[in-house]
Structure 1
Amino acid sequence: MPGFVPPRIRIPRLIAVAAVGLLLGACGSLRYYAQAVHGQGELVVHRRAISQLLRDPATDPQLAARLQQAQRARRFASQQLALPDNRSYTGYVALDRPYVVWNVFATPRYSVQAVPQCFPVSGCVAYRGWFREADAEADAARLRARGDDVWIGGVPAYSTLGWFADPILSSMLRWDDDELDGTIFHELAHQRIYVKGDTAFNESFATFVQTEGLREWRQSRGLPPPDGRARAMDEGFTRLVLDLRTRLASLYASGADAAAMEAGKQGEIAAFRVRYAQWRERDWPGDHRHDAWVAQPINNARLLPFGLYERWTPAFAVLFQRAGRHWPAFYASVRELAREPEAQREQALQALAGARQAEAPAGP
């Protein structure tokens, strides 16, 4: 989406989806429309075919090696994971900036619900994406001036859901091979199935395809499964953040006056930092990868991306098993679920997630 995760904060995973929605005319201002058209147009103009870059003797050998690896993963995605076979991720764009898009998230001062931004293709999402950081900062300043909590997140990659041939961007090459290859699987999954306005469904589905696809991709090359340590720590950190968000939601629903609400909000954030330090020292001594995130200012908007990318992954794992681990059958099941009205779809996902929990092996 214009997560995910730092330079992808690792938590949450900031990937932009369906910026093409901005290009179809449903934006809040002419300025926003113009920057979206210009930003996408620049990517199209500067895209170079990877096949040409690999034949060019002037191409940096390190860049060529990364692009060759990505192209092998791209072929695997279509041939083995039944993901779209098109020109996406067969081109490359060298950006003159660290991110392709900056997302602006906003909530009311005493709410954990996003101020929604709605577009014709992607539906309503929790952010607005800008191709220039200065424009994102200006939008954030406008929202702060009206009293909202605001956070800006840089985005290394995004998908136009197949409307354009999405390129590999230089911002994506800061990741290791697993992150890069997995992101290609993730974004192509969005092209396969996307439900307008249901971010948790879309991101959980694409995250499952990314995780399982990466496992199969590594297995095909005789490599062991990805190290689960970083993922386990990320999941634990996400639970801590979601707990903070739940506590804040209860506070905001309490009916307290503004002064009590503000004092309670700051108190909950301070208590979260204490719980984080205790958790890290108890479970992950010596690992400080999330310290910088915790040390920075925390507000409601900064909590928004957490939980969206994994909420329903257990449900999709059950569907995959029931499909005999056969990708086309799995996609057919997911597409049937996607056609359900939102309430029925969420009920079905809850039932599937419950089945996954019931089937999980008991702990020691």
Structure 2
Amino acid sequence: MQKSFPLVLSLFAALALGGCASSSGDSTLGYYWQSFRGHMGIMGAAKPVQDWINDPSLKPALRERLALAQHARQFAIDELALPDNASYRRFAQLGRAAAVWNVVGAPPYSLKLHTWCFPVTGCIGYRGYFAEADAKAESERLAQSGQEVSVYPVPAYSTLGYSNWLGGDPLLNTFIGWPEGDFVRLLFHELAHQVVYAEGDTAFNESYATAVERLGVEKWLSEHSSPKAQTEFTTSEKRRAEFRTITRNARAALAQVYDNGDADTTDGRAQLEWEKQRAMQAFHEAYAQQRKRWITEDQVKPDQLTNLDRWVREANNATFGAQGAYDDLVPAFIALFEQLGQDWRKFHAAVKDLANQPRAERQAALIALMQSTPPQTAASAEPTGH
């Protein structure tokens, strides 16, 4: 479940940049303008949750979900020490299936994501657009430079708290109807971005927020949810976990190929390409076997696997690289949470301290946390799959 924040942290930042060209060829001013206009469109469509609930014409299912959202919002404050602010206290119907569309890219023989650099957020490994056509146009420009590219829909994003003076990031129709467990975990993830943000370190930021969502949803389901919602989440999480194992193995295999290969010579590139295709074939075969087990043993209907089928079919260095940003460091953050006695305030404070360290020191600290975690703890903290 991937998320994003579009780079619209303030109108002043957007207007201060001028019209210089970005690395991908479109004007920076044009990009910021579409971001500002798109975000303000969402803000303008939002109104207080209670106003929606009081509307007698509102469908009962949506009224019930909005009430649950406010319960989960208060839980995030009281139990997870997440911000008590204006975010997720309003709701907007966007009339579309995604909040934004992200563009990611990576070289032919690397999982390192292409980065775009901006004020406040630093350099990050994706770029968000409020119109799918604009995202596809950017991906085409990036592909022309030789990058492998991917465009994917994003149901929610965080403005890191910068929009709270405008009413806060709202709940959206793009995720309001998700199963309860998935819905509340997304709220926790986006709120976590408002607690800690390390400039230019996508993997750190997303892995921290992913750890918060996984720990938070576990607590929510055990204390505030129905048996039906718990069973539903456990079933879907098992499938995500098994998929994460397959993709993590594929990322490791590809990384080994690229690290040991030689792209500087014709023969070296030919060998790299052959080994890359072999690793990709192994990935597709592993997924096909797991897919068969889901259908025959778990009674999963094929139409429930449509999104995973598409992800596998379109998988490339960019999609693997983007997934790794949300996955790879999660065990370190969960280990830190356990070391601090599962104290949320101490945990957030420790992560803030890490965010303030130089990137190399921060990375070394996270690696040490993972290496110090007993195997059984790591396995339970980081289920196998996505």
Alignment: residue pair count: 351
Which deviates more, 262-271 or 283-292?
283-292
Structure 1 distance, partners of 2:341, 2:93, is: 41
Distance 1:236 1:358, change over 3 A: closer
CA contact (8 A) 2:258 2:272 kept: no
Asked whether 1:241 is paired with 2:250, we answer yes
Which deviates more, 34-43 or 244-253?
244-253
Aligned to 2:104, the other structure's residue is in SS state: strand
Aligned to 2:152, the other structure's residue is in SS state: strand
Structure 1 distance, partners of 2:84, 2:182, is: 20
Which deviates more, 336-345 or 47-56?
336-345
Structure 1 distance, partners of 2:311, 2:225, is: 38
Aligned to 1:134, the other structure's residue is in SS state: helix
Q: Which has the higher helix share?
A: 2
CA contact (8 A) 1:21 1:120 kept: no
Q: Which amino acid letter does the alignment assign opposite residue 325 of structure 1?
A: Q
CA contact (8 A) 2:158 2:169 kept: yes
Alignment correspondent of 2:218: 215
Following TM superposition, by how much is the alpha carbon of 1:22 offset from its aligned partner in structure 2, in angstroms?
A: 7.8
Deviation string 1:220-240 (CA, Å, 9 cap, x unpaired) is 226566515234313312323
Distance 1:284 1:361, change over 3 A: farther
Structure 2 distance, partners of 1:89, 1:362, is: 32
Distance 1:296 1:362, change over 3 A: closer
Asked whether 1:19 is paired with 2:7, we answer yes
Aligned to 1:200, the other structure's residue is in SS state: helix
Structure 2 distance, partners of 1:222, 1:301, is: 36
User: If the length of structure 1 is used for normalisation, what is the TM-score?
Assistant: 0.87
Distance 1:253 1:22, change over 3 A: farther
Alignment correspondent of 1:296: 313
Alignment correspondent of 2:159: 160
CA contact (8 A) 1:252 1:261 kept: yes
Aligned residue among 201, 204, 207 for 1:201:
204
**Fraction of identical pairs, as percent:** 37
Q: Which amino acid letter does the alignment assign opposite residue 128 of structure 2?
A: G
Structure 1 distance, partners of 2:316, 2:240, is: 24
Structure 1 distance, partners of 2:101, 2:308, is: 22
Q: For structure 2, list consecutive stretches of 5 or more residues without a partner in the other structure.
A: 381-386
Alignment correspondent of 1:276: 287
Alignment correspondent of 1:71: 70
Which deviates more, 94-103 or 212-221?
212-221
Alignment correspondent of 1:172: 175
Structure 2 distance, partners of 1:246, 1:213, is: 31
Q: Which amino acid letter does the alignment assign opposite residue 229 of structure 1?
A: K
CA contact (8 A) 2:9 2:162 kept: no
Deviation string 1:173-212 (CA, Å, 9 cap, x unpaired) is 2421111111111111110111111111111111111111
Aligned residue among 328, 331, 334 for 1:314:
331
Distance 1:21 1:267, change over 3 A: farther
Aligned to 1:241, the other structure's residue is in SS state: helix
CA contact (8 A) 2:250 2:279 kept: no
Alignment correspondent of 2:56: 57
Aligned to 1:206, the other structure's residue is in SS state: helix
User: Which segments of structure 1 move beyond 6 Å, counting only runs of 4 or more?
Assistant: none
Aligned to 2:327, the other structure's residue is in SS state: coil
Distance 1:129 1:314, change over 3 A: same
Equivalent runs, 1:218-233 vs 2, <5 Å: 218-221=221-224, 223=226, 226-227=233-234, 228-233=237-242
Following TM superposition, by how much is the alpha carbon of 1:300 offset from its aligned partner in structure 2, in angstroms?
A: 1.8
User: If the length of structure 2 is used for normalisation, what is the TM-score?
Assistant: 0.82
Structure 1 distance, partners of 2:42, 2:99, is: 9
Following TM superposition, by how much is the alpha carbon of 1:281 offset from its aligned partner in structure 2, in angstroms?
A: 5.2
Distance 1:361 1:261, change over 3 A: closer
Aligned to 1:324, the other structure's residue is in SS state: coil
Aligned to 1:173, the other structure's residue is in SS state: coil
Alignment correspondent of 1:181: 184
Following TM superposition, by how much is the alpha carbon of 1:262 offset from its aligned partner in structure 2, in angstroms?
A: 4.1
Which deviates more, 210-219 or 178-187?
210-219
Asked whether 1:266 is paired with 2:265, we answer no
Structure 1 distance, partners of 2:377, 2:280, is: 33
